[in-house]
Amino acid sequence: MITIESLKNAIRTVPDFPQPGIQFKDLTTMLKQPDLLKYVVSTTARYYQQKGITKIVGIESRGFIIGGALAAELEAGFVPVRKPNRLPAEVYRKSYALEYGENTIEIHRDALNPDDVVLLHDDLLATGGTALAAIDLIRQFHVREIHINFIVELDWLKGRDKLTPSYDIYTLVHF
């Protein structure tokens, strides 16, 4: 039987990647196992089944993997949030501070509309800076609701505190 513990055990921790001091959670060791991949997608989709999600917004690039599968499973559309200068048409852009330096993300200006119920998805919540910037982008469309989902959350970084109490956040695996 697959449990949250089996997912946790299948995720590889790589020390000092991509820089010293970071304990990188590598989900590829979980995603390559068909039964675990199916469990992640179906368990997450079940949680959102009755919520009327119309669009999954996935964050480049690891948010595209499960994000796309969730969109198909929930019969919703998929919208990419991408790194700068990758989207070909007109975009909204948001820059945000990282521990060192700055990052920028973009979304197409015609990606969402006010009728949408959005599920923002990324593979992992660390400090919450990326998700918060993506929410800022989504809010420009005045959508009906925003839900938030991660596969993994690093609880000790308290990224959730940046996003709550305004949003319902669902995470499968907590470290």
Q: Which residue numbers are catalytic?
A: 62, 99
Site membership for ligand AMP, residue 55 (CB under 6 A): no
Q: Spell out, one character per residue from 2 to 31, where the chain touches ligand AMP: x when CB under 6 A holds, - when not.
A: --------------------xxxx------
Encode 55-75: b = buried (16+ Cβ within 10 Å), e = exposed.
bbbbbbebbbbbbbbbbebbe
Site membership for ligand AMP, residue 124 (CB under 6 A): yes
Site membership for ligand AMP, residue 159 (CB under 6 A): yes
Site membership for ligand AMP, residue 57 (CB under 6 A): no
Given the complex with ligand AMP, which of 54 and 69 has the nearer CB atom? 69
Given the complex with ligand AMP, which of 54 and 137 has the nearer CB atom? 137
Q: How far apart are CA 113 and CA 30, in angstroms?
A: 34
Q: Spell out, one character per residue from 61 to 90, where the chain touches ligand AMP: x when CB under 6 A holds, - when not.
A: -x----------------------------
Amino acid code (one letter) for 62: R
Given the complex with ligand AMP, which of 116 and 123 has the nearer CB atom? 123
CB 167 within 8 Å of CB 1: no
| Sign of CA pseudo-dihedral 148, 106, 144, 78 | negative
CA distances to 40, 44, 139, 141 from 66, rounded to whole Å, are 8, 10, 23, 24
Site membership for ligand AMP, residue 97 (CB under 6 A): no
Q: How far apart are CA 12 and CA 6, in angstroms?
A: 12
Residues that bind ligand AMP in the complex, under the rule CB under 6 A? 22-25, 59, 62, 122-131, 159
